[in-house]
Amino acid sequence: MHTDAAIDQYWRECRAALAHLPETLPEAWAFGATPEHADELLALVLAGTKTATASSLWDYEHTGEALPAVGALSIILDGRGAPRALLETTAIDVVPFDRVSPEHAFAEGEGDRTLAHWREVHERYWRLHSENPRGYEPTMPVVCEEFRLLRGAAD
């Protein structure tokens, strides 16, 4: 189960392995909306298949959470809340849902990695799990984030 102590320990291990990391603990979060989804997406990250993610700009605006920024670090949690990976954001692009590129869909690493699959899965996700009252629209702004895996749990 997720504990602040486990996240702190993971960060200490990351900093010991990667001397260039800052002292400041990065945000810790999980992909997806369920523990199962978090584990599925984390497995893709750890395998090197998933190097991008997407989120609703409207959700950021609704919650007041800051947008990800190039160079930002994130500790990724598994479905139980345990720290399992350290990511660094390498690119951010905000585009309408219907303009997300096939390359971005491929980099997200899900399903058959096609744009058609990406659109189907993400439309369903935002219809069911949006944090904002607008939910999903075909032209909604999507934050397309690319990242690189700096460290996995077993490193």
We report the CATH number of the domain holding residue 27 as: 3.10.400.10
Stretch 132-136: mean pLDDT, rounded?
94
Tens-place pLDDT, residues 4-62:
999 999 999 999 999 999 999 999 999 999 999 999 999 999 999 999 999 999 999 99
- Enumerate residues 6+ apart whose C-beta is below 8 A from 35: 78, 79, 80
- Read off the pTM: 0.93
Is the pLDDT reported for residue 2 higher than 80? no
- Enumerate residues 6+ apart whose C-beta is below 8 A from 64: none
Domain count, the chain: 1
Tens-place pLDDT, residues 115-130:
999 999 999 999 999 9
- Which residue has tokens 């369920």? 34
Strands 83-96 and 73-77: antiparallel
Tokens of 35: 């523990």
- Which residue has tokens 């993400």? 122
Give the range of the structural domain holding residue 53, as residue numbers without chain letter. Answer: 4-152
pLDDT averaged over the chain? 95
Tens-place pLDDT, residues 56-114:
999 999 999 999 999 999 999 999 999 999 999 999 999 999 999 999 999 999 999 99
pLDDT band of residue 3 (cuts 50, 70, 90) is confident
